[in-house]
Amino acid sequence: MTARLVVAGTHSGVGKTTVATGLMAAFAARGRAVAGFKVGPDFIDPSYHALATGRPARNLDAFLSGPELIAPLFAHGAEGANLAVSEGVMGMFDGAGAGGVRGTPGGCPGGVELASTAQVAKLLRAPVLLVVDCGAMSRSVAALVHGFASFDPGVDVGGVVLNRVGSERHEQLLRQALEPLGIPVLGVLRRRAGLSTPERHLGLVPAAERQAAARRTVAELGAATAEACDLGAVAAVADAAPPLHATPWEPVIADPWPVPSAGEPAGPSSGPPHRRPVGLGIASGPAFTFVYQENLELLQAGGAELLPVDPTADERLPDGTAGLYLGGGFPETYAEALAANRPLRAAVRDFAAAGGPVVAECGGLLYLARTLDGQPMCGALEAVGRMSDRLTLGYRRAVAAAPSPLASPGTEVRGHEFHYSQLQPPVGATAAWLLDGERPEGFVAGGVHASYLHTHWAAFPELPGRLVTAARKGAAP
């Protein structure tokens, strides 16, 4: 089984992304095949992990996928790697909590530790590297680390990394305080403003929006981490992880290729003889970077040919497009470019008006609206979008409220909301979901299913299966 460790923190903003990405880059530069993971629903940090490792980064979220899929998803994502580094979320023991999501214990087991870094570390049997922000403490660091190491005996804290250390004297005081605990200090990072990464309202700026600068940042993080950390000792902690017996998850959709009708022509040898792959346009480019890798793999497993389309640049839908998947991202940042691309806006509007299957999540929902902060969008939905200073955030349980290309009525899923934008009206005449048993949300109009809800399809493969089926029904023979 792949050597592995989890990079956890005492709280948000402690430097987990710096340390985790730096370790990934440092080990990759030394020839190890590294797989990167992010605990939780975050899309942005994994974009830096992918740059550091040279392979897709993946999410491990015990609420979205269910605890039972964490180890299989990990094993799938770590195939071909000999080291896996998983970056945690918030503080190590922070998660959804039993009371944080209405009805959670019955719909997704996990109790008060649900979706926390600690829970994922235990599910992976992975040692933890605890990152501590030491910018305003010295001897108190020992009480803090002792508390985190002893709070849950099931969590193995294999070492600590001291971040934002001010001086050699400061480092000496910290080490002296920690020595009696017997937990090794595996790294000490000094304050370095030059290693900061640009941020905005939802966190870091995605790597896809600043490719050249992001690559430089990742390379600098790798070099700084190699200098600040004992990579040999870190590798020893990861290599000592006990065996993890997990069958890798596979992207499988039940019966994705319907049996042909009598006389129907056969397809190419690349797939089952009776069906050709069906084209599915996938929103891409700098404005649309929020999509789970497993979602794309499930679409392909169901028979979709993924056709990337950049709404900031491409003026027409790809040839053969029979369905659209518009994921999340930052359309508000690129509103002018999206508005200026009139040909594609018209093509998407016409495709939706003709009944073509369209699934949109969060940023894709805004793109389908009439306007966003006054800039014209596609106009496929009778709604107006605007940015606000109010954050809508949280895990949700959802039930499909109407038939759509994504779900049949009554389908139960788990998802996550994270946005500062608002729509007027906030919900369509026909809602997409009923959230947490009471709040209608989203829009179903013709062949369009549009919602703020992000869903991880590994736990609900019927969703991508339904989208591919809808696209196939509308595809030209």
Quick one: 187 and 333 in the same domain? no
Cα-flanking dihedrals φ and ψ of residue 128, to 5°?
Answer: -110, 135
Residue 10 pLDDT > 80: yes
Quick one: 231 and 311 in the same domain? no
Of 239, 260, 295, which residue is a domain's last? 239
Cα-flanking dihedrals φ and ψ of residue 107, to 5°?
Answer: -95, -20
Q: Please, which pLDDT band fits residue 435 given cuts at 50, 70 and 90? A: very high
Quick one: 212 and 297 in the same domain? no
In the predicted model, what is the mean pLDDT of the chain? 90
Residue 16 pLDDT > 70: yes
**Which whole number is the average pLDDT over 76-101?**
87
DSSP for 328-355, written as a single string: BS-TTTTHHHHHH-HHHHHHHHHHHHTT
* Percent over 70 (pLDDT), the chain: 88
Quick one: 230 and 143 in the same domain? yes
Quick one: 109 and 18 in the same domain? yes
Instruction: Answer whether 129's CB lies under 8 Å from 5's CB.
Output: yes
Q: Please, which pLDDT band fits residue 205 given cuts at 50, 70 and 90? A: low
Q: State pLDDT tens for residues 309-341.
A: 999 999 999 999 999 999 999 999 999 999 999
Residue 29 lies in a domain: yes
Given the residues 108, 134, 362, 378, the one annotated as active site: 362
Q: State pLDDT tens for residues 98-125.
A: 444 444 433 444 568 999 999 999 999 9
CB atoms within 10 A of CB 51: 23
Residue 322 lies in a domain: yes
Residue 194 pLDDT > 50: no
Question: Which residues are bridge partners to 84 per DSSP?
Answer: 4, 35
Quick one: 232 and 302 in the same domain? no
Q: Using CA atoms, how far apart are residues 131 and 134, in angstroms rounded to an integer? A: 9
Q: Please, which pLDDT band fits residue 273 given cuts at 50, 70 and 90? A: very low
Quick one: 77 and 187 in the same domain? yes
Per DSSP, 47 falls in state H
Residue 259 pLDDT > 50: no
Residue 345 lies in a domain: yes
Residue 191 has a pLDDT of 83
Residue 171 has a pLDDT of 97
Instruction: Answer whether 316's CB lies under 8 Å from 280's CB.
Output: no
Q: Please, which pLDDT band fits residue 214 given cuts at 50, 70 and 90? A: confident
Q: Please, which pLDDT band fits residue 1 given cuts at 50, 70 and 90? A: low
Q: State pLDDT tens for residues 43-65.
A: 989 999 999 999 999 999 999 99
Half-sphere exposure in the Cβ direction for 377 (13 Å, CA): 25
Number of independent structural domains in the chain = 2
Residue 263 lies in a domain: no
Q: Please, which pLDDT band fits residue 193 given cuts at 50, 70 and 90? A: very low
Quick one: 291 and 377 in the same domain? yes
Question: Which residues are bridge partners to 386 per DSSP?
Answer: 422
Cα-flanking dihedrals φ and ψ of residue 208, to 5°?
Answer: -65, -20
Of 190, 218, 239, which residue is a domain's last? 239
The question of whether 378 is a catalytic residue gets the answer no
Q: Using CA atoms, how far apart are residues 325 and 449, in angstroms rounded to an integer? A: 10
Of 213, 239, 265, which residue is a domain's last? 239
Quick one: 414 and 470 in the same domain? yes
Residue 427 pLDDT > 60: yes
Q: Rounded to whole angstroms, what are the CA distances from 331 to 188, 289, 367? A: 38, 10, 7
Residue 211 lies in a domain: yes
Residue 97 has a pLDDT of 65
Residue 259 lies in a domain: no
Q: Please, which pLDDT band fits residue 303 given cuts at 50, 70 and 90? A: very high
Q: Using CA atoms, how far apart are residues 384 and 375, in angstroms rounded to an integer? A: 10
Cα-flanking dihedrals φ and ψ of residue 306, to 5°?
Answer: -80, 125
- CATH value at residue 450: 3.40.50.880
**Which whole number is the average pLDDT over 355-376?**
98
Quick one: 115 and 165 in the same domain? yes
Residue 204 has a pLDDT of 57
Residue 200 pLDDT > 90: no
Residue 258 lies in a domain: no
Residue 58 lies in a domain: yes
Please state the separation of Cα 53 from the chain's center in Å.
16
- CATH value at residue 157: 3.40.50.300
Residue 254 has a pLDDT of 72
Q: Using CA atoms, how far apart are residues 280 and 299, in angstroms rounded to an integer? A: 9
For residues 126-163, b (16+ Cβ closer than 10 Å) or e, as one string? Answer: bbbbbbbbbeebbeebbebbbebbeebeebbbbbbbbb
Q: Rounded to whole angstroms, what are the CA distances from 186 to 231, 234, 353, 380? A: 8, 7, 58, 54
Quick one: 230 and 360 in the same domain? no
Residue 208 has a pLDDT of 59
The amino acid at residue 439 is R
Quick one: 355 and 459 in the same domain? yes
User: 174: domain range?
Assistant: 3-239
Residue 142 pLDDT > 50: yes
Residue 169 is inside which H or E element, if any? helix 168-178
